[in-house]
């Protein structure tokens, strides 16, 4: 079989009309599919698809076929006696097909035909949707189109935008036709729903000009038929589209779109449009008003940006004209040319701030050109050419003479690698030569800033010409340079911002190292990229510079990890659209997945966007709940997160990972928010196979493993309920207060000695004065991790999250109290609290949450206590009933302190015991039992 035949087989499978037919094709051609030729072609197709389109539907279909092929090979190997046994297919993973027939016209015809069987087969093959609705199978078209709008909603929201656009536009256009033919207002309602969904899909796909065109047409059509129910949503879509078009990027600002957004907001009578009369419209009214207020706040911010834009143009224009006058004074022989240039600049009005900045810098380059002996006529000719696309009006053949010329060459070489440019191969090669010369000149003359700029642009060059090893070495050099600069800055906030100029440094380095299959170096990049804010805070406390500016992984790390016998280290780096991960196994070997994990910050933020009020998606009790008329909390979060660990299954098959081993993992970004142990692995939660703990990096783990594990003989317990816990209207007041007392009393009656501070006595000064060093420290209180304050401003968890304490002899008023006395991460550092050698249990709501800080580290109380010397820590990820926290804490203490097992074993057995208890009949009504057993995470020392 040749490569063309292999490609035809693969294409036939992934473009089959249905999944069942795809499986049939794969089975019939299974021997060819399993051939080395087919595998090479499949890998080539995967790489090409990823490079051109990224994580597309076609890429996912190819990826699933690759996995299907692997499992098919394993299944046939295990069933060697009968490789034609068709039952093998029932054990294989599901394939995915890329439909080429789902168009607006096809969907409309499907509904017009009245063929319910064909309609049922069509929807059975669509990707799963949590809004599936059997109304689509109704023979009454009004009901069927209503079901189609419901079904397409999650696709339009981002689940599958291309599919959502086809379905919603079909619903809209068919409803238009049916209403105009029958005047049945049910079709007017379905037209409104289709228009709303289609506008959402256009917006989600970034097609903002299309949003403006479509919503204008839809409003006109609907209002001509005396329907204004959907007008406010569609008008707000228009405002948002103008705002998005006004903000082209961080530097560019489009005044015209901003002004149109302002006009729409001011001239529209929103109160007349937003419904208030019908009770059913109440939630819609709330949603619309909230959306309107958010947009108004954004416009206020943009208005300031507009002011800054105009002011910047004025100031830059003035400076440039003054410099031209000075130039004319020192070069009178070029006065005529300079006067013409001055006139052009004075009259030229750019369309955006970015364009003005480019032209301003170009004018500076022109002056440099003249002062370096160039002919001013070059400038006039270049200016009258294609100003918006020209990259380099000069030939850089002469040696660099000064720093201005160096910067000029770097800027123009950098423009060649702008995403908007499509340079020819000759231009790219010339840019490489210019950059090499510029880098050497910058080094010879000790211009560190320009050297680093040259290194970054040189990386872009190497990456463009597929010289990936050179690209990696260039990035590593840039990283080393930045670490040296960092080590010389004493101010921790300034230090943490050194990397800001190169925000894509670590993601680019991780991508390149993964591509080259260099896992040891990838681990170094991941650990370096995840943050240094911890080190900076420590520097602030000690006033001493770090001795090791490289922030490399301690040399002892690998030996210490191997000493643990059954422990593995897993470290994640979350980029915008994908996640990089390395496993260092218990035998010291490195392992990475074949491809980066296709989950990134964008997707995770969509699923995990933290709302501490009503719809916390982290809490399993909220999964699937409706947030608004068009949005719900995801109902299958753990399955969506499965790729984070599913790649480890191959390592189990190879006996690198074994049942009852320990996984210590270092999360990143939103992964700090979730408990890894509840993610499904081989059909069961991960905790069924391994004990799991968390850490903030290899250096922190090395420091812990260098200590001897100890079991404390003394305890300190702090117990504080809230005034709301004593509300007489609650039916379980006594049970809840008893649960707060339960663990401190259990500790009092144990063989440990210690002290308890309770209720109104437990204010911040009293708690801060307690002994914590080398003790078991148990906090039974409420915790908060607010995302925003009462005025909807984002808050810093370093200053505003923590444990609620008493104040002025009174209990905290409510458990949500932002203004209450708090033990925050900042208080831990400012008061120099010493938790050295202690185990801390934060028996409080959301105490284990963390948020990415300035340098990439997670700022939360868990982090702060570990930095204050705590050896291990138990904390929760969501608001857990105090009774369950007490039960878990008692089980953990009993097993670890008095039955002689490790913390990891005590934690895992306690989780599994709760899991077993939750399977009893009395918990059958609870939809997501993870709420009871998965909230507790162990951090730090697991021994």
pLDDT tens by residue, 769-793:
999 999 999 998 887 766 555 555 5
* Greatest extent of the chain over all pairs of C-alpha atoms, in Å: 97
Q: Is the pLDDT of residue 859 over 60?
A: no
Sequence-distant (≥ 6) Cβ neighbours of residue 933 within 8 angstroms: 911, 912, 914, 915, 918
Task: State residue 262's pLDDT score.
Answer: 77
- Sign of the alpha-carbon dihedral angle for 866, 869, 874, 875: negative
Report yes or no: 227 and 176 within 8 Å, Cβ to Cβ. Answer: no
Segment 27-42 mean pLDDT: 85
Residue 777: strand pairing partners: 716, 840
Half-sphere exposure of 603 (CA within 13 A, CB side): 16
Q: How far apart are CA 735 and CA 738, in angstroms?
A: 5
Any idea what DSSP says for residue 54? S
pLDDT tens per residue, range 613-669? 556 788 888 887 777 655 678 888 899 999 999 999 999 999 999 999 999 999 988
Report yes or no: 823 and 766 within 8 Å, Cβ to Cβ. Answer: no
**How large a percentage of the chain has pLDDT more than 90?**
29
What band does 206 get if pLDDT is binned at 50, 70 and 90?
confident
**Domains of the chain (ranges plus CATH)?**
3-91 (no CATH), 556-705 (3.30.420), 714-889 (3.40.50)
Higher pLDDT pick, 55 / 607:
607
Q: Is the pLDDT of residue 183 over 60?
A: yes
Q: How far apart are CA 253 and CA 246, in angstroms?
A: 5
**Number of Cβ atoms within 10 Å of the Cβ of 544:** 9
Segment 115-139 mean pLDDT: 76
Residue 513 CA to its chain's centroid (Å): 21
Segment 64-76 mean pLDDT: 78
Q: Is the pLDDT of residue 743 over 90?
A: yes
Selection from 111-115, 156-160, 741-745, 843-847 with the highest mean pLDDT: 741-745
Task: State residue 260's pLDDT score.
Answer: 81
Sequence-distant (≥ 6) Cβ neighbours of residue 178 within 8 angstroms: 141, 142, 145, 184, 187
What band does 484 get if pLDDT is binned at 50, 70 and 90?
confident
Residue 775 CA to its chain's centroid (Å): 37
Joined tokens for residue 377: 């006529």
Q: How far apart are CA 663 and CA 685, in angstroms?
A: 14
Segment 728-747 mean pLDDT: 83
pLDDT tens per residue, range 689-712? 999 999 988 888 888 888 889 899
Least confident range of 14-18, 677-681, 780-784: 14-18
pLDDT tens per residue, range 440-471? 999 988 888 899 999 999 999 999 999 999 99
State phi, psi for 360 to the nearest 5 degrees.
-60, -45
Q: How far apart are CA 321 and CA 344, in angstroms?
A: 11
Strand, coil or helix: 60:
helix
Any idea what DSSP says for residue 894? I
**Number of Cβ atoms within 10 Å of the Cβ of 695:** 23
Q: How far apart are CA 884 and CA 675, in angstroms?
A: 17
Q: How far apart are CA 600 and CA 602, in angstroms?
A: 5
What band does 390 get if pLDDT is binned at 50, 70 and 90?
very low
- Name the one residue in this structure whose structure tokens are 């289609």: 198
Task: State residue 520's pLDDT score.
Answer: 92
Query: Rounded to two decimals, what is the model's pTM?
Result: 0.59
Any idea what DSSP says for residue 821? E
Q: Is the pLDDT of residue 21 over 60?
A: yes
Q: How far apart are CA 145 and CA 752, in angstroms?
A: 68
773-796: buried (b, 16+ CB within 10 Å) or exposed (e) per residue? bbbbbbbbbbbbbbbeeeeeeeee
Q: How far apart are CA 91 and CA 87, in angstroms?
A: 8
Strand, coil or helix: 529:
helix
Half-sphere exposure of 39 (CA within 13 A, CB side): 10
Segment 265-274 mean pLDDT: 74
Task: State residue 78's pLDDT score.
Answer: 67
State phi, psi for 441 to the nearest 5 degrees.
-65, -40
**Helix 519-529 and helix 505-515: axis angle, to 10°?**
170
- Sign of the alpha-carbon dihedral angle for 7, 9, 13, 17: positive
Least confident range of 79-83, 198-202, 572-576: 79-83
Q: Is the pLDDT of residue 191 over 90?
A: yes
What band does 251 get if pLDDT is binned at 50, 70 and 90?
very low
Task: State residue 468's pLDDT score.
Answer: 92
State phi, psi for 92 to the nearest 5 degrees.
-90, 155
Report yes or no: 487 and 546 within 8 Å, Cβ to Cβ. Answer: yes
Q: Is the pLDDT of residue 387 over 50?
A: no
Joined tokens for residue 279: 């009770």
pLDDT tens per residue, range 907-927? 999 999 988 886 555 555 556
Strand, coil or helix: 680:
strand
Q: Smallest Cα–Cα separation from 491: which of 547, 537, 548?
A: 537
Joined tokens for residue 485: 């600069």
**Size of the chain in residues:** 943
**DSSP states along 833-875:** ---TT-EEEEESTTTT--EE-TTS-EESHHHHHHHTT-SEEEE
Segment 527-540 mean pLDDT: 58
**Number of Cβ atoms within 10 Å of the Cβ of 150:** 19
Segment 879-906 mean pLDDT: 91
Query: In whole angstroms, how far apart are CA 844 and each of 779, 822, 827?
Result: 7, 13, 17
Q: Is the pLDDT of residue 584 over 90?
A: yes
Higher pLDDT pick, 88 / 193:
193
Report yes or no: 861 and 783 within 8 Å, Cβ to Cβ. Answer: yes
Q: Is the pLDDT of residue 303 over 80?
A: no
What band does 250 get if pLDDT is binned at 50, 70 and 90?
very low
756: part of which helix (H) or strand (E)?
A: strand 753-758
Segment 822-841 mean pLDDT: 90
Segment 245-263 mean pLDDT: 65
Q: Is 547 exposed, middle or buried (0-12, 13-18, 19+ CB in 10 A)?
A: exposed
Joined tokens for residue 350: 């750019």
Joined tokens for residue 261: 């957004």
Task: State residue 551's pLDDT score.
Answer: 52
Strand, coil or helix: 3:
helix
**DSSP states along 301-319:** HHHHHHHHHHHHHHHHHHH
- Name the one residue in this structure whose structure tokens are 């209720």: 759
- The H helix count followed by the E strand count for the chain is 40, 20
719: part of which helix (H) or strand (E)?
A: strand 714-719
**How large a percentage of the chain has pLDDT more than 70?**
72
Mean residue pLDDT of the chain comes to 78
Segment 312-324 mean pLDDT: 60
Q: Is the pLDDT of residue 737 over 60?
A: yes
Task: State residue 351's pLDDT score.
Answer: 46
Q: Is the pLDDT of residue 282 over 60?
A: no
Q: Is the pLDDT of residue 150 over 70?
A: yes
Q: How far apart are CA 261 and CA 671, in angstroms?
A: 37
Q: How far apart are CA 435 and CA 237, in angstroms?
A: 45
């Amino acid at each position: 079989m040749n490569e063309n035949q292999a490609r035809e087989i693969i294409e036939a499978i992934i473009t089959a009309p249905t999944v069942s037919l795809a499986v049939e094709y794969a089975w019939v051609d299974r021997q060819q599919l399993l051939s080395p030729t087919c595998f090479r072609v499949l890998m080539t197709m995967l790489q090409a698809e990823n490079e051109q389109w990224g994580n597309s539907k076609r890429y996912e279909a190819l990826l699933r076929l690759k996995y299907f092929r692997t499992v098919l090979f394993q299944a046939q190997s295990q069933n060697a006696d009968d490789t034609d046994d068709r039952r093998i297919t029932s054990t294989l993973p599901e394939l995915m097909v890329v439909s080429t027939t789902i168009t607006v016209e096809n969907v409309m015809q499907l509904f017009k035909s009245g063929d319910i069987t064909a309609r049922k087969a069509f929807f059975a093959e669509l990707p799963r949707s949590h809004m599936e609705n059997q109304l689509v199978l109704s023979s009454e078209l009004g009901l069927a189109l209503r079901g189609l709008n419901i079904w397409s909603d999650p696709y339009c929201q981002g689940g599958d935008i291309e599919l959502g656009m086809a379905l919603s536009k079909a619903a809209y256009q068919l409803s238009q036709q049916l209403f105009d033919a029958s005047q049945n207002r049910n079709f007017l309602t379905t037209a409104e729903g289709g228009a709303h969904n289609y506008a959402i899909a256009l917006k989600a796909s970034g097609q903002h000009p299309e949003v403006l065109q479509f919503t204008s047409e839809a409003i006109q059509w609907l209002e001509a038929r005396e329907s204004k129910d959907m007008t406010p949503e569609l008008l707000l879509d228009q405002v948002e589209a103008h705002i998005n078009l006004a903000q082209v990027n961080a530097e560019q600002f489009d005044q015209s779109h901003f002004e149109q957004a302002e006009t729409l907001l001011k001239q529209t009578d929103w109160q007349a449009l937003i419904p208030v009369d019908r009770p059913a419209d109440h939630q819609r009214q709330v949603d619309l008003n909230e959306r309107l207020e958010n947009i108004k706040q954004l416009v206020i911010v943009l208005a300031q940006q507009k002011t800054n834009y105009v002011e910047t143009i004025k100031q830059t224009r003035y400076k440039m004209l003054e410099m031209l006058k000075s130039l004319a004074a020192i070069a009178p022989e070029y006065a005529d040319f300079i006067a013409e240039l001055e006139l052009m600049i004075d009259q030229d009005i750019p369309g955006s701030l970015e364009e003005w900045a480019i032209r301003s810098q170009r004018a500076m380059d022109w002056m440099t050109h003249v002062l370096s002996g160039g002919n001013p006529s070059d400038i006039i000719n270049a200016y009258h050419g294609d100003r918006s696309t020209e990259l380099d009006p000069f030939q850089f053949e002469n040696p660099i003479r000064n720093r201005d010329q160096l910067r000029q060459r770097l800027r123009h070489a950098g423009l060649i690698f702008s995403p908007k440019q499509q340079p020819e191969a000759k231009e790219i090669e010339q840019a490489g030569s210019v950059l090499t010369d510029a880098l050497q000149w910058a080094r010879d003359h000790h211009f560190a800033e320009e050297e680093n700029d040259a290194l970054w642009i040189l990386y872009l060059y190497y990456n463009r010409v597929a010289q990936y090893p050179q690209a990696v070495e260039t990035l590593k050099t840039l990283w080393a340079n930045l670490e040296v600069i960092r080590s010389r800055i004493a101010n921790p906030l300034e230090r943490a911002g050194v990397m800001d100029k190169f925000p894509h440094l670590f993601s680019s380095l991780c991508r390149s190292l993964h591509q080259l299959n260099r896992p040891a170096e990838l681990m170094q990049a991941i650990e370096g990229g995840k943050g240094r804010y911890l080190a900076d805070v420590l520097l602030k406390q000690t006033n001493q510079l770090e001795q090791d500016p490289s922030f490399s992984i301690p040399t002892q790390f690998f030996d210490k990890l191997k000493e643990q016998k059954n422990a593995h280290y897993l470290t994640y780096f979350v980029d915008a659209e994908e996640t990089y991960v390395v496993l260092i196994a218990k035998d010291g070997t490195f392992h990475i997945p074949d491809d980066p994990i296709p989950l990134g910050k964008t997707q995770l933020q969509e699923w995990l966007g933290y709302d501490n009020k009503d719809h916390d998606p982290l809490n399993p009790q909220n999964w699937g709940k409706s947030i608004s008329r068009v949005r719900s909390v995801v109902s299958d979060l753990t399955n969506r997160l499965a790729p984070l660990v599913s790649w480890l299954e191959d390592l189990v098959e190879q006996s690198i990972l074994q049942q009852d081993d320990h996984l210590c993992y270092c999360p990143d970004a939103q992964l700090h928010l979730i408990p890894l142990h509840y993610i499904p692995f081989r059909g069961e939660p991960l905790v069924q196979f391994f004990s799991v703990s968390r850490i903030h990096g290899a250096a922190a783990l090395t420091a812990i493993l260098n200590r001897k594990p100890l079991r404390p003989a003394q305890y300190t317990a702090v117990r504080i309920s809230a005034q709301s816990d004593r509300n007489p209207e609650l039916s379980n007041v006594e049970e809840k207060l008893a649960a707060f007392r339960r663990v401190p009393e259990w500790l009092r009656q144990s063989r440990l000695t210690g002290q308890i501070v309770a209720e109104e006595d437990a204010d911040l000064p009293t708690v801060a004065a307690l002994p914590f060093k080398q003790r078991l420290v148990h906090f039974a209180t409420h915790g908060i991790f607010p995302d925003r304050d009462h005025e909807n401003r984002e808050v810093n968890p370093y200053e505003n999250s923590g444990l609620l304490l008493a104040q002025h002899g009174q209990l905290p008023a409510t458990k949500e109290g932002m203004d209450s006395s708090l033990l925050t991460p900042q208080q831990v550092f400012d008061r120099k609290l010493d938790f050295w050698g202690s185990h801390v249990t934060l028996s409080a709501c959301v105490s284990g949450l963390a948020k990415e800080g300035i340098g990439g580290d997670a700022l939360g109380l868990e982090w702060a206590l570990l930095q204050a010397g705590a050896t291990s820590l138990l904390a929760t990820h969501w608001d857990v009933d105090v009774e369950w926290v007490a039960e878990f804490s008692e089980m953990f203490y009993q097993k670890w302190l008095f039955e002689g097992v490790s913390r990891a074993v005590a934690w895992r057995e306690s989780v599994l015991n709760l899991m077993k208890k939750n399977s009893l009949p009395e918990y059958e009504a609870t939809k997501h039992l993870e709420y009871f057993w998965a909230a507790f995470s162990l951090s730090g020392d697991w021994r």
